[in-house]
Amino acid sequence: MASITRSHQPFVPQHVTMRELTLRAVLLGLLMTVVLGAANAYLGLRAGMTIAATYPAAVISMAVLRGMNGSLLEENIARTAGSIGESVAAGAVFTLPAFLIAHAWPSFSPADAYWKSTVLMLVGSVLGVLFVSLVRRVMVEDPELPFPESIAASQIHKAGQQGASAARYLFWNIGLGGVVYLLGRFGIFASDKDVTVAVGGMSGQLRLGGADSNQVVAIGGATSFAAPSVSPAYLGVGYIIGPRLAALQFAGGVLAWGLLVPLLMYFLGPQLRAFLPPGAGAESWSGLASSTGRYIVRPIAVGGMLVGAAYTLWRMRVSIWSGLVRAIHDLKQTPAQAAKLSRTERYMSSKVVFLLIGLVFLAMIALYVYFSGNVIGGVVAAIMMLILGFFFATVSGYLVGIIGSSNNPVSGLTLCTLVVAALLMVALGVSGVAGAAAVLGVAAVV
């Protein structure tokens, strides 16, 4: 792990007193949370992914608060609050529908699901903030973490502070990106292009569009490449994270759809249906390819995420330990010592953080006992949640620092949690609908 540096100088000097946590900033942030969270919930249910709300929240907060003579720190508070809705929405849409699918809940009516969903999201959100707060300093001070989306959001706020000339370039680029997207959607130019390569004198073509626009699938003796879509959003994210991280993202898609799916289809062919759930996959090669990617290659990727999460934790062992040591050391801090800290070093007392973690832990025990109907299973699930939650929150924070929240594999971490929690519940003899509810409850909070 690289050495930690403290050479960063804040854009707003530490000695400057400026309005920050104001009522209007909080209210604007809450309004954006509702709107952007709802939009991302729809996108997550439809496409299986969410898009970072940081950028629209930054632009909206800058535009609104600049008109009200708001400060830069007020804009930052409003943008931070507004972007949280996307994270909570992702946690909800990736787990809550599974309660209904598994028949743990009879319906999504308020009487059956509303309050349960609210408690799960509230516990998970509060616990995640508390966990990340323990290692926040070592993460933001790590020179290896570029925090691409945070850097981009900060530049938006800085552009607003530099006057009309800098803000003009910002809004010109927003408009240009919108025009490019609309021209592609209206068919003025082809935003997607299929390229077919014949192998062994045979040719064919398979189109896997939508969210699978980067798939590469072998059809008999032909291989069809669906070229990446023209997307201003992805171009911007690629520019921010740089060629090395973007190449890693691209390599994952090529490995899955350019190697694993064609190999499995070539060597097993129609026999693949024996490894698929009943009814999965159509009679065509395209349906078989999609089912192979979904039911065979994707679980392989989940296993890879488990290994990757373990490796990331091992790499972060120094940072995690350093953060915990600093948090425990802060327990001895007196109010007088806390008052002498600079503005950028002030935070909630470690005593309050650990106390709240303890209270949330008790709430989790009651929640999981209620879900599983088993006291021992509920207590074990809560303990497991506390451990997995801390480590996965740390891994997730680390990944946000590398590739941003849009590319953060929240659903992959959730699937890793499901595997571990399910194995443990089965070992304890908690099965059936109650066991499924307990496992999903752990995954939802994570």
What's the mean pLDDT in 411-440?
76
User: Which tops the pLDDT comparison, 50 or 75?
Assistant: 75
pLDDT value at 375 more than 60: yes
What's the mean pLDDT in 37-61?
76
pLDDT score of 214: 47
Distance CA 108, CA 121 (A): 15
pLDDT of 331-364, one tens digit each? 777 777 666 777 677 777 778 888 898 898 888 8
pLDDT score of 211: 43
User: Which tops the pLDDT comparison, 443 or 7?
Assistant: 443
**Where does the pLDDT of residue 2 fall: very low under 50, low under 70, confident under 90, or very high at 90 and above?**
very low
What's the mean pLDDT in 163-176?
69
Average pLDDT, the chain: 74
pLDDT score of 388: 79
pLDDT score of 49: 63
User: Which tops the pLDDT comparison, 233 or 427?
Assistant: 427
pLDDT score of 47: 59
**Where does the pLDDT of residue 208 fall: very low under 50, low under 70, confident under 90, or very high at 90 and above?**
very low
Q: Is beta strand 222-226 parallel, antiparallel or unpaired with respect to 216-219?
A: antiparallel
pLDDT value at 260 more than 60: yes
Distance CA 213, CA 207 (A): 8
pLDDT score of 444: 79
Helix (H) or strand (E) holding 225: strand 222-226
Distance CA 445, CA 129 (A): 12
Sign of CA dihedral 218, 219, 221, 222: negative
Domain assignments of the chain as residue spans, ordered by start: 17-93+140-184, 112-134+316-446, 192-229+231-284
Q: What residue spans of 229-316 are helical by DSSP H?
A: 232-255, 261-268, 285-292, 298-315
- Please, what is the Cα angle at 113 between 109 and 118, to 5 degrees? 125
**Helix axes 410-427 and 72-93, enclosed angle (nearest 10):** 50
pLDDT value at 141 more than 60: yes
Strongest mean pLDDT among 24-38, 40-54, 187-201, 296-310: 24-38
What's the mean pLDDT in 280-308?
74
pLDDT score of 279: 65
pLDDT of 176-202, one tens digit each? 877 877 877 777 766 666 555 554 444
How is residue 446 annotated by DSSP? Answer: -
What's the mean pLDDT in 64-78?
83
pLDDT value at 259 more than 70: yes
pLDDT of 381-409, one tens digit each? 888 878 878 887 877 777 777 767 666 66
pLDDT of 301-338, one tens digit each? 777 777 777 777 787 777 778 777 877 777 777 777 66
pLDDT of 81-133, one tens digit each? 888 877 787 778 877 888 888 787 887 777 777 888 888 888 888 888 888 88
pLDDT score of 193: 60
